Structure 1
Amino acid sequence: MIHFAIVGCGHIAIKHIEAIQRTENAVLAGLCDTNEARLTKLALTWQAPVFTSMSEMLEHLPHLDVICICTPSGLHADLAIEAAAAGKHLIIEKPLALTLEDTDRIIAAVARFGVKATVVHPNRYRPAIQHLKAALEHEAFGKLSHISAAVRWNRNQAYYDQAPWRGTRAMDGGVLMNQAIHSLDLLLWLFGPVSETKAFADTRLRNIEAEDTAIAVLKFDNGVLGTVEACTTVYEQNLEETLTVFGEHGYAIIGGRTANWIKDWKCASMTEDDIRQLVDEVEQNPFGVPGHQCIIRDMVQALLEDRKPAISLQDGRSAVKLVVDIANQGMQVRS
């Protein structure tokens, strides 16, 4: 059995816990948070030992194999480095860290102490995205002209007021680091590195330190052009998360309130029946196996097979770098 512990027991930790419970050869062996009331509630539900410091947990549970870092993002680096130094493998919630300096500290520690590590970018495992990835690998749309990603969501002021760290640059980040980083990771995974960015970013409606709205134009190394629109300012509720691809032989639109559905798909090499069958397949199970469960399962298999996890820390760093490039340039233009 691979023994997992959670550090940081907020809402995202539940996804990790449920994923561990559903994964063969995985067992929840510890919970850690500075909030004792939260810990007590989780302990009653999940029947796992609880600790208010990771150092204490590492001392009392030497058999732990994997630490899931689920704390506010600004704490990721120091906790990940401490766990790696103790010989523990790592699953780090997105973003890997809030700065490139911290991402590089984590990467260096993982290499130094010889542990395995991955970052949580679960949207890669969505069925519609998996089909899009396969189509791109087979060049089904021909030469690509341009792509677009839009995250038009709502996070009202009450969301940011839940905790003093929300919306801060040091601990949380803005819409790019917190919400749109999933779409940015998909852009990099699907279309490759970005060579140039032009951006605007601003804090338009929310009383937070970081940006709540950002617009960017990208040029990828392969010449593909792209746009990114991200905001948490849509009135009242989430509107859409959309990824659109245009090529010489077709196009695809993956969307919905979350990008789980094929909204449109045209491809010269596919018949209408082929496309209908593809769309129907996704409609029947748009969420598939939860992404967190795929990542937990991949870590278990990586340990049992002694291989690297599917999502690398370099992948996580690339997403952070793109966020930093867009946000920094955008906020400089604003000032």
Structure 2
Amino acid sequence: MIQFAIVGCGHIADKHLEAILQVEGAQLAAVCDTNVLRLEEWGARTGAATFIDLEEMLLRMPEISVICICTPSGLHAPLAVKAAQAGRHLIIEKPVALTIEDGDAILRAVQRYGVKAAAVHPNRYRPAVRYLKWALDSGKFGRISHVNATVRWNRNQAYYDQAPWRGTRAMDGGVLMNQAIHNLDLLLWLFGPVQDVQAMADTRLRHMECEDVAIATVRFHSGVLGVVEAATTVYERNLEESISVFGEHGYAVIGGPTAQWIKQWKCSSMTEGEIAQLRAKVEQDPLGIPGHQRIIQDMVTAIREDRSPAITAADGMHAVRLIDQMLLSSRAEQSQI
């Protein structure tokens, strides 16, 4: 059995717990959190050993192979570096880090101490997204002209007020780093690195330190043009999350309130029957095997086969670097006003 520990027992930790319980060969050995009441509750729920201090856990439980880092984002780097120094593999929630410097520190530690590090970008495993990746890799849409990523969501003021670290630059980030990062990861995974970025970001409706709305245009190295729209200011509820692709031989829109449905799909090399069959497969099981479960399973396999994870921490940092470019562009634009 590969022994796992979860560090940070907030909301997202539940997904890691569910995934570990579902993966054959994975076992939760310990949990770590500075909130004593929450830690006691997790210990009672899981039967895992409980620790307030990461270093004590690493020292007392050498049998732990993988650390799942689920803390506020600003704490990822110091915790990941400590775990890597202790020779433990890492699964790091998004974003891998809030700054390029912190991310580079993690990547240096991973390389120096010879551990494996995975970034949590589960949207790559959604069936509709996998079919889109297949179509692009197969050239189904021909030469791509432009793409669009949209996140029109609601995160009301109560969401940001529930913890003092939410919406801060030091611990959380704004709509780009916290919500749209999955969509930016998908754009980079599907279309490759970005060459040019122009962006505007602002804090319009929420009382927080970071941006609640952002708009950007990008040019990929391939020449493909892209538009990104991200907001947590949409009234009352999540409205839309989508990835749209437009090419010389067709187009596709993966959308819905969360991007898991084929909303549009037209392709000159596919019959209407083939497209209908594709839609039916997605509608039958739009989520597939949960992405967190896939990531936990992949880490177990990567350890046994001594290979890199499918989505590495270095992969995860590509989206962080793109967001950094967007925010730099936005600040430059504001300084000219």
Q: Same fold (TM over 0.5)?
A: yes
Aligned match of 1:172: 172
CA drift of 1:334 comes to: 2.7
Give CA deviations for 1:109-158 in whole Å, capped at 9, x if unaligned.
00000011111011000000000000000010000000000000000000
Aligned match of 2:319: 319
CA drift of 1:332 comes to: 3.2
Aligned match of 2:83: 83
1:211-222 matches, within 5 Å, as 211-222=211-222
1:62-73 matches, within 5 Å, as 62-73=62-73
Aligned match of 2:113: 113
Q: After alignment, is 140-149 or 319-328 more displaced? A: 319-328
Percent of aligned pairs sharing the same letter: 64
Aligned match of 1:154: 154
Letter in structure 2 aligned against 1:309 = P
Letter in structure 1 aligned against 2:210 = A
Asked if the contact 2:92–2:313 (Cα under 8 Å) also holds between the matched residues in 1, the reply is no
The CA RMSD over aligned residues, in Å, is 0.7
SS state at 2:180 partner? helix
Letter in structure 1 aligned against 2:214 = A
Aligned match of 1:140: 140
Asked if the contact 1:119–1:312 (Cα under 8 Å) also holds between the matched residues in 2, the reply is yes
Q: TM-score, normalised by structure 2?
A: 0.99
Cα distance in 1 for residues equivalent to 2:207 and 2:227: 26
Aligned match of 1:234: 234
CA drift of 1:314 comes to: 1.9
SS state at 2:294 partner? helix
Cα distance in 1 for residues equivalent to 2:133 and 2:12: 26
Unaligned runs of 5+ in 1: none
Asked if the contact 1:120–1:292 (Cα under 8 Å) also holds between the matched residues in 2, the reply is yes
SS state at 1:141 partner? coil
Letter in structure 2 aligned against 1:221 = H
SS state at 1:164 partner? coil
SS state at 2:31 partner? strand
Count of equivalent residues: 335
Aligned match of 1:281: 281
SS state at 1:65 partner? strand
Give CA deviations for 1:57-82 in whole Å, capped at 9, x if unaligned.
11111110000000000000000000
Letter in structure 2 aligned against 1:169 = R
Cα distance in 1 for residues equivalent to 2:140 and 2:276: 16
Aligned match of 2:332: 332
Cα distance in 1 for residues equivalent to 2:327 and 2:179: 13
1:122-137 matches, within 5 Å, as 122-137=122-137
Letter in structure 2 aligned against 1:236 = E
Q: Runs of 4 or more off by more than 2 Å in structure 1? A: none
Asked if the contact 1:202–1:334 (Cα under 8 Å) also holds between the matched residues in 2, the reply is no
SS state at 1:5 partner? strand
Give CA deviations for 1:32-51 in whole Å, capped at 9, x if unaligned.
00001111111111111111
Cα distance in 2 for residues equivalent to 1:237 and 1:29: 38
1:3-18 matches, within 5 Å, as 3-18=3-18
